[in-house]
């Protein structure tokens, strides 16, 4: 089975700790990860190495949902996350791996995202589009400076 790999790079005006937290907080994930036109629901999240997560995205227009889940492989606070993901749909076989690297820079955080093992039936440009939308939502969440 052939697969795709995509790579994204962003600089966000937020500290690495806040971005890292947005990947491991179920309410935050449900808010920023679903791309435009989808709602998200986190069904399970055990945010520790070896822990599992499960979530689903639902298309607001059609009501069609797809669910996926995986395992946290590496968690380095405010620096790196690596996790697997598999779709429940047998037509989307295989296991993907996502690696997120965070590095503090003078204006915030440089973020690299690499997603490997994307099933060949999902066009890479669709993955790029979805991630771009998700990262736009992530920026809106983590860049907000709300007085405490």
Q: What is the mean pLDDT of the chain?
A: 96
Q: How confident is the model at residue 74 (pLDDT cuts 50, 70, 90)?
A: very high
- The pLDDT tens digits for 100-119 are 999 999 999 999 999 999 99
Q: Is the pTM of this model over 0.85?
A: yes
Q: How far apart are CA 96 and CA 120, in angstroms?
A: 11
pLDDT exceeds 80 at position 1:
no
- The pLDDT tens digits for 47-67 are 999 999 999 999 999 999 999
Q: How confident is the model at residue 146 (pLDDT cuts 50, 70, 90)?
A: confident
φ, ψ at 144 (rounded to 5°):
-70, 130
CATH for 3-142 is 3.30.530.20
Q: How far apart are CA 99 and CA 132, in angstroms?
A: 16
Give the count of beta carbons closer than 10 Å to the beta carbon of residue 104.
13
Spatial contact of 1 and 119, defined as CB atoms under 8 Å apart: yes
Domain residue spans of the chain? 3-142
């Amino acid at each position: 089975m052939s697969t795709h790999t995509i790579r994204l790079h962003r600089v966000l005006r937020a500290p690495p700790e806040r971005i890292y937290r947005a990947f491991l907080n179920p309410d935050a994930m449900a808010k920023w990860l679903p791309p435009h036109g989808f709602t998200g629901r986190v069904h399970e999240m055990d945010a520790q190495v070896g822990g599992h997560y499960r979530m689903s995205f639902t298309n607001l227009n059609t009501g069609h949902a797809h669910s996926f889940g995986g395992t946290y492989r590496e968690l380095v606070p405010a620096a790196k996350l690596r996790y697997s993901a598999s779709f429940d749909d047998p037509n989307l076989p295989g296991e993907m791996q996502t690696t997120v690297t965070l590095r503090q820079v003078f204006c915030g955080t440089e973020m690299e995202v690499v997603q490997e093992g994307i099933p060949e039936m999902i066009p890479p440009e669709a993955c790029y589009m979805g991630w771009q939308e998700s990262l736009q939502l992530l920026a809106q969440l983590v860049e907000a400076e709300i007085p405490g």
